[in-house]
Amino acid sequence: MASYILKRLGQTFIVLFGISLITFILLQVVPGDPVALMLDRRADPDTIAAVRHQLGLDVPLPQQYLNFLNGVVHFNFGVSYFSKESVLISLNRAFQVTLKLAMLSFVFAVLLGIPCGMAASLHRGKATDTVLMTLSIFGVSAPSFWIAIILQIIFGLKLNLLPISGFDRPSAYILPSIALGARYAGSIARITRTSMLDVIKQDYIRTARAKGAKRGSVIFHHALKNAMIPIITLVGNELGNMLTGSMLIEKVFSIPGIGKLAVDSMSNRDLPLLEGTVMYIALVFVIVNLLVDISYAFIDPRIRFGKAAQ
């Protein structure tokens, strides 16, 4: 297992290096001068040159990339061009907000999706299966921002039960968490149903039933445990998506999270903030995928990391 983890860590560093290089190149070819956006149009050439020198934009591109890479290694992404605040401080503040939203949405999606998928698989072809899968299709297909707006209209404007913006009190967490978690709950329900249907057809399930095992024991200790590999894979990826912030949900509910930070940095072409945001998103995804891979060994003992790593 140790060799497997070390190999995955090595792959993680390679991926992060590749993402840093691609991000830097793309930001250089995107039209627009960040200095021109910062300064008034009437700024004279000497002022523009002085600002470019201060920001380190007058050195060759390879040197700019090495400076950026050195900052990434030391978790120092510089200072925002516009807010004059450390990028790391901005990311930390936005991450705390996004983390709350992601965890609440994740719990909602898992607690709703897995039981619904199990219920649908155990009542295959019946009304329960049809209703639950229809709802799951709706959850997956409906745009999250549309669900958010509908929730705002019903529970915020019409019934006046919940706040429709902000993230400064517990009641404000409810609508954004449901809006963000709805589509993930639908995906989890569908993959749970499919995985459970594959498992309950296996010979060992019939053998357990023939030996007189209780229905609950067969479902939870045999079927669900062995159906968890694809479920964990999907859940891990969905968690990564949630932790990187939802631009639309955060925009609709005016939540100052990672998604909003990314939009603002792109609009202003704030290179340090944008580069820091992209690297944060990449780091979240590779860490989540690494944890998902490691979790397989604890879910299914048949997996041998030593063989998988070869």
Q: Which domains, from first to last, does the chain contain? A: 2-73 (no CATH), 89-302 (1.10.3720.10)
Measured distance CA(239)–CA(287) in Å, rounded: 11
The residue ranges of DSSP E strands in the chain, in sequence order, are: none
Q: What is the mean pLDDT of residues 260-287?
A: 82
Confidence of residue 9 (pLDDT cuts 50, 70, 90): confident
Amino acid at 266: M
**Range of weakest confidence among 52-61, 163-172, 230-239:** 52-61
Residue range 259-278: mean pLDDT, rounded: 81
User: pLDDT band at 171, cuts 50/70/90?
Assistant: confident
Q: What average pLDDT does the chain have?
A: 80
pLDDT of residue 308: 43
- Position 95 scores a pLDDT of 87
**pLDDT above 80 for 216:** no
Tokens 């090495």, residue?
66
* pLDDT for res 207: 78
29 or 4, which is more confident? 29
* Res 180 pLDDT > 50: yes
Per-residue CA distances from 242 to 98, 176, 296 (Å): 8, 12, 21
Residue 73: per-residue pLDDT: 78
309 has pLDDT over 60: no
Q: Which of 49, 79, 74 is nearest to 271 (CA)?
A: 79
How much is the pLDDT for 2? 67
Better pLDDT: 163 or 300: 163
What proportion of the chain, given as a percentage, has pLDDT over 70? 86
Is the pLDDT confidence value at 192 over 70? yes
Quick check: 193 pLDDT over 80?
yes
Of 232, 247, 242, residue with least CA distance to 297:
232
Separation of CA 225 from chain center: 25
Q: What is the per-residue pLDDT for 245?
A: 62
Distance CA 145, CA 161 (A): 20
